[in-house]
Amino acid sequence: MVEKFEVDRYLGKWYEIARNPNWFQKGCVLSTATYSLGPDGDIMVRNECTRDNGQKNKVWQSSAIHYGQGIFEIKATWLGPFQWVVDLFRDTNPNYVVLNTDYDSFSIVGTPDHKYWWILSRQPTLPESMIDEIKALLVISGYRV
């Protein structure tokens, strides 16, 4: 687990290396997440996806930061024309958690219900042996790989 999470070190672009199948990234063959500080101090996340047909999608999220048990937890909210509706029904439970990171090369992200997980990297690739080690950590943490 990440202890004393350093938000400033986590900011920047992360490449998705691997994930388990999910409906909201169907057809994505190259995905990135770019974390930055918003004007109000919230973390802003720009998720980008290049689909298998070449189409590019960008989705902005605003995130509230929660620190619990040494873990960096994020409550992401989609930004768009109906933001006020989302704000009205916003809860404070995190959507996803940074389970582990070294800030410089890899990050392991998962949902609190253990349904979804992602392996991220600062570079577009990671050595296969490192991916295997990370997947083993996910299994130990209760995620299906």
Burial (CB < 10 A; 0-12, 13-18, 19+), residue 101, is buried
Least reliable range by pLDDT among 27-31, 34-38, 52-56, 94-98: 94-98
> Which range (16-20, 83-87, 108-112, 137-141) has the least confidence?
83-87
Confidence of residue 91 (pLDDT cuts 50, 70, 90): low
Could you tell me the two tokens for 93? 């439970």
* Residue 29 zone, left/alpha/beta (φ > 0; ψ -120 to 50; rest): alpha
Q: Where are the beta strands (DSSP E) in the chain?
A: 12-19, 28-37, 43-51, 56-68, 71-78, 96-101, 106-110, 117-121
Strand partners, 10: none
- pLDDT of 123 > 90? The answer is yes
- Report the C-alpha gap between 124 and 111 in whole angstroms: 22
pTM of the full structure: 0.80
7-140 CATH fold: Lipocalin (2.40.128)
pLDDT at 93: 61
State mean pLDDT over 52-81: 60
Separation CA 83–CA 29 (nearest Å): 28
Vertex 95: Cα angle to 89 and 96 (nearest 5): 165
